[in-house]
Amino acid sequence: MTRCRKPLRSLGQAIWSAAILSVALGQAGAKPAGNRLAYLDGADPFHVGLAFPRLTTPQWVGETGVEAVVTLGIDDMRDPRIYESFCRPILERLKQIDGRAPLSIFCNSITPTEPLLQQWLKEGLSVEVHTLTHPCPLLAKGNFAAAANTYHGGVDLMNHIPGNLPAAFRTPCCDSQNTPSPRVFSELLMRRNPAGQFLEMDSSVFNIFTRADPALPGSLVTDPDGKAKFEKYVPFDSYVVTIENYPYPYAIGSRIWEMPCMVPSDWEAQHLHGTNNPVTIRDWNAAIDATVIKQGVFNLVFHPHGWVRNTQVIEWIDHITAKHGSKVKFLTFRGAGERLTKNLLGGQALRAANGQDNGV
């Protein structure tokens, strides 16, 4: 499923390519781009790859000796009690590392005065945006008004949680459908809601490690049967919202940081070989080992829906701390965004206070 090996993987690839081209042309109009870096201004969320310049973790994390970053992003929250029960053992395990509990919860419609939210914020969690109603796909039935309402409403709701400032968005069903389209970025994420609120980060595009990367040992990207370790998790042939061998933050349209998710999510894993399969954890171990080699980021996508046990997430954290120790830093999306702004951009965020391009 490597993009460079096939002209087009499927009709779905052709459709997405046309969509990307349409957005690019719509933004550029009839004027030719004289700047050789003008392509970076577009809304194509899939423009990076193995040959693209890398933003490695030591360049932005701001801590000597840290070579990779992990974010734990759990999706779909409506009932905080379910998430407290599922996440509590994970939070306590994270606290054993350095006293913090850096986990990010992507929320749908919740009550902003829920007491658990204040407890979590004090413990170091971040509360992020996953739309109000979780439509799959987000732009379903061509009803853009509904998509805008559920996205911008989610941004507004998370801003109404006392003490919370949401940083990131995750598109519903991004691990199972072609949901994070260029239009989602150009017409939703890069805009402000009626209250003037906006986000600075997305985590919806999935990174796949492949055997095309010469930096990675074959044992990390190849199964014992000789087949590709991570490409097997792609849920269907026309699933194209992916990048390959690029586990790094990158900018989309000069306004949004993309923190690419790592294949597999827990949904992709259970879709392939059933729930709570130990192979999932072994492959997560291989992926984090590859991420450390690449000095990148591992953004985990998981849910409390029975696809992976919380004890398995802890098992994976144990592997990280035992093998890599202080080389790996656990952060929330809010924390990652703050470090990118402070340590990479000298305190000047991608977006100005009014949500526009900040000239970075």
Per-residue pLDDT at 140: 87
Q: Is 9 part of a structural domain of the chain?
A: no
150 CB-contact burial (10 Å; exposed 0-12 / middle 13-18 / buried 19+): buried
For residues 31 and 289, which has the higher predicted lDDT (pLDDT)? 289
Q: Is 42 part of a structural domain of the chain?
A: yes
Note the pLDDT tens digit of each residue in 90-144: 999 999 999 999 999 999 999 999 999 999 999 999 999 999 999 999 998 889 9
Per-residue pLDDT at 38: 53
Please state the pTM of the whole predicted model.
Answer: 0.88
Q: Which residue has the tokens 């954290």?
A: 317
**How many CB atoms neighbour CB 284 within 10 A?**
24
Per-residue pLDDT at 359: 85
**Spatial distance between the Cα atoms of 228 and 255, rounded to a whole number of angstroms:** 34
Q: Is 149 part of a structural domain of the chain?
A: yes
Q: Is 5 part of a structural domain of the chain?
A: no
Instruction: Tell which residue, 307, 251, 244, has the closest CA to residue 51.
Output: 244
Note the pLDDT tens digit of each residue in 146-157: 999 999 999 999
Phi, psi angles (nearest 5°) of residue 64: -60, 135
**How many CB atoms neighbour CB 214 within 10 A?**
8
Per-residue pLDDT at 344: 97
Number of compact structural domains in the chain: 1
Q: Is 4 part of a structural domain of the chain?
A: no
* CA-to-CA separations, 12 to 1, 241, 252, in angstroms, rounded: 13, 10, 22
**201, 251 contact by CB (below 8 A):** no
- Residue 107 tokens, joined: 């929320």
Per-residue pLDDT at 39: 52
Note the pLDDT tens digit of each residue in 20-79: 333 333 333 334 455 555 555 577 999 999 999 999 999 999 999 999 999 999 999 999
**Spatial distance between the Cα atoms of 112 and 161, rounded to a whole number of angstroms:** 5
* Segments of 131-175 assigned E as strands: 168-169
Q: Is 224 part of a structural domain of the chain?
A: yes
Q: Is 117 part of a structural domain of the chain?
A: yes
**How many CB atoms neighbour CB 299 within 10 A?**
30
Q: Is 200 part of a structural domain of the chain?
A: yes
- CATH code, domain with 198: 3.20.20.370
Domain that holds residue 152: 38-344
